[in-house]
Amino acid sequence: MGNNSCKKRALAHAIETMGMAFILWVISSTSAIADFDTSEFASKRSLKLEPISGETLVVAPIDTEIYNSVRPNLPDIRVLGDTTTEVPFLIEKAIETRTRITEKMAPASVDSLRELPGNRIEMTVTLEEDAPNADLLRIRTPLNNYERQVTVFGSSGGEDWEQLVDGALIFDYSRFFDIENQDVRFPENEHRHFRIIIEGIVDEKASPFRRLWLRSVGDQEVEHTESFSVHNRPFRIDHIELWAQREREAFKSERKTEYAMVGFTVTRDEEKKQTIVEIESGRDPLTSITLRSGNRNFSRRASLEVRKQVFAATEWVEIASGTLTSIEYLEYKKESLTIPFPEHRVSLYRLIIEDEDNAPLAIDSVTGEGRIYQIVFLSAPGSNYELVYDSEKAESPKYDIATVLAPIRHNYEPAIAVFGPEIANPAYDVLVDKPRSNLLENKVFLSAAIAAMVIILAWALYSTSRKIGA
């Protein structure tokens, strides 16, 4: 009986000790939640806010200095209140309201068409009663490789005419470039009648075929004659259209900003006839890259590449392609020097420009454009906030703030927070931030390990079979 009593007392003491240990563990766990451990974050920055009187929605746009330090998908960012308490937040794309230019056809009828001296024609056009005011003329023609000048007059009643456009150029340069222009734009007006004059209505076009006569005496050529025919080509018009352009239709769009590049270098591959531009970036979330060149009147194919891991090697992989164009001719100007691409956050891009037999372009500058991401959280009056970031180990936090903010997110104007200078986190411990091994998640490593195990097992079975045979 005495032994049983001792055993019961010992068991009760053990249970009591275990219970106390559990309570202490709960308390320590709760304290860990309240006092956030920042030892795995290398950097931090203060968040500066104007004084607030109540709970306020705050947004803080992420800048290049943070992008340079954080990992893809931004998992290693935390917001702290009063330097110790973890504050729930979400990261979202900045949105803005924009208007777009819309086109609506303005129905019209052709009243007259006549030839004028000097190889010209004149048309008069009247808008229908319910048609909107027109500010764009579009001349549809099946011809290519042409150039014509168009002059337009406008009148409210069809009697007193005001000149709207003088010698605007319509053209098709498909023989040289893949460009055309059939539009003539008007200044803002309220005219209902238009008089359109087209210059050079008939042009001359040489036949692509040649006639060749040769006369020879013996083996010697004594006469060589070459001729070709020239055809008169009327400017065929299928139909003309009047359009009204209006700025309307507000819509939500991702807000973007220009990001400065760290630098760029230009090299030349003479064998492939290519200009290669390597662009260093600050790992900002870019969606397009734009060149500036002192050259004019060019159109070059270009492709954009980034370095990616392909099996065990790192290779250049194309992410976008396009045509770089800059054309200036009389009043006509067209410039397209931007290559858009899916969002990337990398430190190095490579742009390959196909020069073919043209002289290489002079690259004056390179800029990038990308999305703006911002940190959103609720702030309390009298609290100070800071951002800790840059960790190799931290995983993306999971908060319910997105659900909490959904009903009120777009009904209140948020306060804008500004980041202070970046400083090293004194609590950072590189050993704590050491990421766990990912070898077991690496398919190449697992395949090699399995192959090695098969070889070892086969050798062991072979050795064992020999011993048994002996």
56: number of Cβ within 10 Å:
17
Cα–Cα distance for residue pair 100/105, rounded to 1 Å:
16
Ramachandran area for residue 118 (φ above 0: left; ψ -120 to 50: alpha; else beta): left
The Cα–Cα gap between 41 and 80 comes to 12
Q: Phi, psi at residue 378, to the nearest 5°?
A: -100, 130
Angle subtended at Cα 174 by Cα 173 and Cα 175, rounded to the nearest 5 degrees:
90
Contact 177, 217 (CB under 8 A): no
Tens place of pLDDT for every residue, the chain, 470 residues?
445 555 445 444 444 444 433 333 333 333 334 578 899 999 999 999 888 888 889 999 999 999 999 998 999 999 999 878 899 999 999 988 877 788 899 999 999 999 999 999 999 999 999 999 999 999 999 988 888 999 999 999 888 899 999 989 998 888 777 788 899 999 989 999 999 999 988 876 655 556 666 667 666 765 666 655 566 788 889 889 999 988 776 777 889 999 999 999 999 999 999 999 999 998 999 999 999 998 988 999 999 999 988 777 889 999 999 999 998 877 778 889 999 999 999 999 999 999 999 999 999 999 999 999 999 999 888 889 999 999 998 999 999 888 888 887 777 788 899 999 999 999 998 888 776 555 455 566 566 667 777 788 777 776 777 767 66
CB 170 within 8 A of CB 194: no
Strand partners, 169: 149
| Consecutive H or E run containing 95 | strand 95-105
Map out the domains of the chain as residue ranges.
31-56+64-88+381-459, 102-204+233-250, 256-371
Tokens found for residue 239: 């139909």
Q: How far apart are CA 150 and CA 121, in angstroms?
A: 10
Phi-psi region of 378 (alpha: psi -120 to 50; beta: other; left: phi over 0): beta
Q: Which amino acid is at 258?
A: E
Cα separation, 61 vs 80, whole angstroms: 16
Q: Does domain 102-204+233-250 have CATH number 2.60.120.260?
A: yes
Q: Check if 102-204+233-250 and 256-371 are the same fold.
A: yes
CATH 2.60.120.260 is right for the domain spanning 256-371: yes
- Which strand (E) or helix (H) includes residue 87? strand 85-87
